[in-house]
Structure 1
Amino acid sequence: MAGPALPIRRSRRELVEAVRERPFLIVTGETGSGKSTQLPKYLYEAGLAKHGAIGVTQPRRVATVSVAQRVAEEMGCALGALVGYQVRFDDCTCEDTAIRYMTDGCLLRQILADPLLSKYSVIILDEAHERSLSTDILFGLLKKLFLQEKPAGRRTDMKVVVMSATLEVEKLSEFFGHCSVLNIPGRSYPVKEIFCNLLSPRDVGSSAYVTEAVKVALDVHLNEPEGDILVFLTGQNEIERACDLLFKKAESIDYRYEVHDRAVEGLLILPLYGSMSTDQQKRIFLPAPRGIRKCVVSTNIAATSLTIEGVRYVVDSGFVKQLNHNPRVGLDILEVVPISKSEAKQRAGRAGRTSSGKSFGLYSREFWEQCMPQHTVPEIRRTSLTSVILTLKCLSVHDVIRFPYLDPPEERHILEALKELYQCNAIDR
């Protein structure tokens, strides 16, 4: 089955040749260009999986599963055969799986057992801008393994591709020995971005964004032509509260008089967050019945790699729940903070995946300029380093201070983590 006509198709030959010729490659392209689904397929069809599988990492479980399903469908094979996925507690692969989608944590665990990744010929780190702890460790390990030291014991050279819609490209290229960067131009469809001016810089500590998001979602439902809605909120509690409010208000709508588009006859409200089971999460991909508009209320989980067919409207609260280290209590704490500008662009892009759309930011331009940083602070710079240091020690990386970090943490934080691990007998030196 042929894949859809996505912007990446024009760069197919160039991409395959670049991967063949270079050990490291960075691929950037706007949301909806087809990087996650098409590049692994192109590399497989060009014969790059003859000496080992193509491994593709994703930061989140639901994206890993849905992208694998999509690619298996396009290649006309059963999921778990030629194309499979692996997430924690769920391994849908076999010996012959040539394209393996997995979470970045899964690849890290595989490196613990097989440091040379001898089962793989190509590793693709997708959605690298998320800069999760696992992604940052993988950056350093892959650089150390395949760039600084040529590993003995591998039959063929490893190829590493780093992909993202938004990324500090020059910095990453320099980190990987000034490697080449390929840009895939063009989002699939145009997205009109609208500031709703409902949140100002004064609202940073308030939870007003939940009720405002509900109001804007209902306004879109009543006044915009047919097309599904994706609402970005911060966590399970806020999402369940918003779904309850939406449900109560949607029940009292008189579709004969209040709805602008006569083709819209109802609203299907679906929550989406990380702790839901994979089966529950899969419901959001099913098309809504005829005449019913789907409204998915989600955490950041829907901002990466997922294509929810039919979404034409995005309602962005402008906030995210982020893990930050509190040195006073010595713990990582989940805090609600404004998203970065690059994250806002990523969210808006969800409305232009399958047709032209609109993105409604609840915030004002003042909020955008004053409260939203340019890029998300990498997790390695804002959380406890104990898990990172322990993982590196398990991988026999003893000099954790000089390990090649893309954004090196402060030395005192590394020493604090070492001291903590030593005190609880997790390490002996």
Structure 2
Amino acid sequence: MTWLDLADDAPFDAWTLPYGVFSTTGEEPRVGVAVGSWVLDLAPLAAVEGLDGSHLFAQRTLNSFLAAGRRAWEAVRGWVLELVTESPHRDLVEPHLVPLAEATLHQPFTVADYVDFYASQLHAENVGRIFRPDSPALPAAWRHLPIGYHGRAGTVVVSGTPIARPSGLRRVGAPGSDVEFGPSLKLDIEAEAGFVVGTPSKLGSRVPLGSFEDHVFGMVLVNDWSARDIQAFEYVPLGPFLGKSFATSVSPWVVPLAALEPARVTPPTRSPAVAAYLRDGDPWGLDLQFEVSWNETVVARPPSRELYWTPAQMLAHMTVNGASVRTGDLYASGTVSGARPDTGSFLELTWNGSDPVTLADGTRRTFLEDGDTVTIRATAPGPNGTRQRLGEVTGTITPPP
């Protein structure tokens, strides 16, 4: 329930309440919470209320608020929930509601480090069959631990940022053929869930499964743009490098973990049994429904509930060797894929270009062309049988520099 007049197609309801950074004409960027078709301007509202820590919302990024820790996150969410659901607060809140249409959205947090995982078994098997047809589809370690790679924090960009087509070395034909340098001819997407660290950990310590909610603030939608021809040539034996590092897009709104409680599910049964540090008695599998739109044609709806590894397990594995995490660290699930056509990459959707997809304008496509726009959206179960929208991440391909 809320006193706000929320349209059925509003971007966010009064439960999700994601955090972002926005600005209006002539004003500096600051922290806001999205509700309905508005942004709740937290800094002046908190100042009027005389709240401790109101300065955290006058910042150009969420990082200071993220670093404040779980107790602060819970207190602020409780305050905002009360403001938008209890009608006596209406007169106080209404002057601080900014129409989303009048707001410029910025990258919500400064990324400290970026790690991308490989948590979907269907995606891993599909990629294995395409790239390594004469080898087992899954790497030997895949069922034992969450496989991942370290990406580039400096090339994480906010939704709406144009994506320049990357160039690199690639084979011109079958394995063993000539190698040439040039723009990627197999530019692809990866629909993913990303997780944002708030509370850091100490170098030489571990973050156990039970401490996941103490360290991770929330979730963003991620498109890990991928140049498949560059990737296929370079990735053995050390994994992705230039085929991935040119750009990763994130949604401008960070959905707090608390909003995702109704979406929690038990992940698939693991076989063989995993190591003790990965055994989760209170699992954080998530029932997210993604939607991938290619030039406004919906081409896939990949589900996340079958992801083999949970975000809590990813964090536990990432720190089990004593590696620390920092405020603003981003780590992602890897491509979320179901059975074709509901795959989170065009590599799988078109089976490496051998099975083109037809868009609404009649064109048949395999990989991205200059001018193409991809938008990834997601929803999840909300309280009392509702369905909550989790935002979107979009990007348009531009020619190589």
TM-score class, shorter-chain normalisation, is under 0.3
Decide which structure has the larger Cα Rg and report it.
1
TM-score scaled by structure 1? Answer: 0.26
The structure richer in helix per residue is 1
TM-score scaled by structure 2? Answer: 0.28
